[in-house]
């Protein structure tokens, strides 16, 4: 099985192309090896001066339906699936050149990013500093939604969702242990999902312009419009992928049990900020 959360370096440059979910613009993303200590840095190569946007929590701008980072007037949106893959892969140093304001959605999951980076060649980084495990619980809430990080000897990620108005989703729970379960097989392939009765409203608001039945699972009250699913609990697995991507804005994710219920990019990034405070104080 592949390794998870142990540091690696990319050997060769790789490129992925496609349309972004929200803005619908075609973009190319070129992932380039970077020296240790660089961190992950987006570069908007289409803008004058090629502005850099570090993939850190301090750059988070907007968290409505996707996570957007920004520096000055330069922004990059829908970074969470790539960042989830980088975090689990242990790829902490990378130049990410993008020629538009949003990363491509690809097939709606993390799988294409995972496969492209594997094809680029990954080598272990020796003597990489280990991130210390969490020592106290940290929690954020919003109504009955929450994200908690609980001290645990090994990393685990658990996600619960409840969509009573959408029978094909309903209540789902999924828990992933990177110690024993493959990310590439169990989490990376889980696709973005959405709701048929919200499509028109979101389109009118200028969102999901690049969404289609090819790159997102769409559900109405009674059924999926574009089966088959890759997993019966694919939506819960996708939310877990989003959580991994948002936590990855910390850099290496500290060992802990992360447990989210009905959460959102906003709550995921709030928890990450609280964790960052705990780690630096
Ligand atoms: Zn997502």
Reduced to 3 states, what is the DSSP secondary structure of residue 26? strand
Domains of the chain: 8-124 (3.30.230.20), 138-280 (3.30.1700.10)
CA of 239 to the centre of ligand 1 (A): 6
Residues 6+ apart with CB under 8 A from 255: 131, 133, 134, 152, 153, 154, 155
Among 69-73, 220-224, 242-246, 270-274, the range scoring the smallest mean pLDDT is: 220-224
pLDDT (average), residues 144-170: 96
Cβ contact 218:195 at 8 Å: yes
Task: Return d(Cα 87, Cα 229) in angstroms, integer.
Answer: 25
Q: Would the pLDDT of 127 be above 90?
A: no
**Residue 228: is the preceding peptide bond cis (ω within 30°)?**
yes
Residue 3: pLDDT band (50, 70, 90) is confident
Q: Which helix (H) or strand (E) holds 243?
A: helix 234-247
Q: How many CB atoms lie within 10 A of CB 167?
A: 12
Q: Quick check: 196 and 220 in contact, CB under 8 A?
A: yes
Q: Residue 163 has what pLDDT? A: 96
Give DSSP secondary structure letters for 169-185: TEEEEEEE-TTTS-HHH
User: What pLDDT score was predicted for residue 1?
Assistant: 64
225-267 pLDDT, tens digit each: 999 999 999 999 999 999 999 999 999 999 999 999 999 999 9
131 C-alpha to center of ligand 1: Å? 25
Q: What is the pLDDT of residue 213?
A: 84
Calculate how far, in angstroms, residue 126's C-alpha sits from the geometric centre of ligand 1: 32
How far does the centroid of ligand 1 lie from the alpha carbon of residue 216, in Å? 10
Average pLDDT over residues 130-155: 96
> 193 C-alpha vs ligand 1 centroid, how far in Å?
8
Mean pLDDT of the chain: 94
- What mean pLDDT is predicted for residues 111-135? 93
Which residues contact residue 276 at a Cβ distance below 8 angstroms, ignoring those fewer than 6 apart?
Answer: 57, 250
Angle at 183 between CA 164 and CA 91, to 5 degrees: 120
pLDDT of 22: 85
For residue 30, the CA-to-ligand 1 centroid distance in Å is: 20
Check if 265 is active-site: yes
Average pLDDT value for residue range 40-47:
98
CA distances from 28 to 31, 151, 168 (A): 10, 39, 34
Question: Rounded CA gap, 246 and 79, in Å?
Answer: 9
HEC-encoded secondary structure of 50-100 = CCEEECCHHHEEECCCCCEEEECCEEEECCHHHHHHHHHHCECCEEEEECC
Catalytic: which of 4, 257, 265, 268?
Answer: 265
Residues in the chain: 281
CA–centroid distance, 114 to ligand 1, in Å, is 15
Residue 68's pLDDT is 94
Residue 185's pLDDT is what? 98
């Amino acid at each position: 099985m592949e390794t998870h959360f142990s540091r690696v370096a990319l050997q060769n440059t790789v490129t992925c192309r496609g349309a972004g979910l929200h803005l619908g613009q075609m973009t190319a993303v070129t992932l380039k090896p970077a020296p240790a200590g660089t961190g992950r840095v987006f570069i908007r190569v289409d803008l004058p001066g090629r502005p850099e946007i570090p993939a850190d929590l301090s750059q988070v701008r907007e968290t409505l339906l996707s996570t957007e980072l920004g520096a000055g007037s330069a922004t990059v949106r829908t970074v969470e699936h790539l960042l989830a893959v980088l975090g689990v892969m242990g790829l902490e140093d990378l130049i990410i050149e993008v020629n538009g304001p949003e990363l491509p959605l690809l097939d709606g999951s993390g799988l294409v990013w995972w496969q492209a980076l594997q094809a680029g060649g990954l080598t272990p980084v020796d003597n990489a500093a280990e991130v210390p495990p969490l020592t106290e619980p940290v929690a954020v809430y919003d109504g009955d939604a929450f994200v908690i990080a609980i001290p645990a000897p090994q990393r685990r990620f658990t996600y619960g969702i409840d969509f009573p108005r959408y029978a094909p989703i309903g209540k789902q729970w999924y828990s992933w242990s990177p110690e024993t379960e493959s990310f590439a097989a169990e989490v990376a392939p889980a696709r973005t999902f959405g709701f048929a009765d919200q499509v028109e409203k979101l389109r009118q608001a200028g969102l999901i312009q690049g969404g289609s039945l090819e790159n997102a699972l769409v559900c109405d009250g009674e059924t999926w419009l574009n089966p088959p699913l890759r997993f019966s609990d694919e939506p819960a697995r996708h939310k877990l992928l989003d959580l991994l991507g948002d936590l990855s804005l910390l850099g290496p994710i500290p060992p802990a049990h992360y447990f989210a219920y009905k959460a959102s990019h906003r709550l995921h990034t709030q928890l990450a900020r609280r964790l960052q405070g705990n780690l630096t104080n």
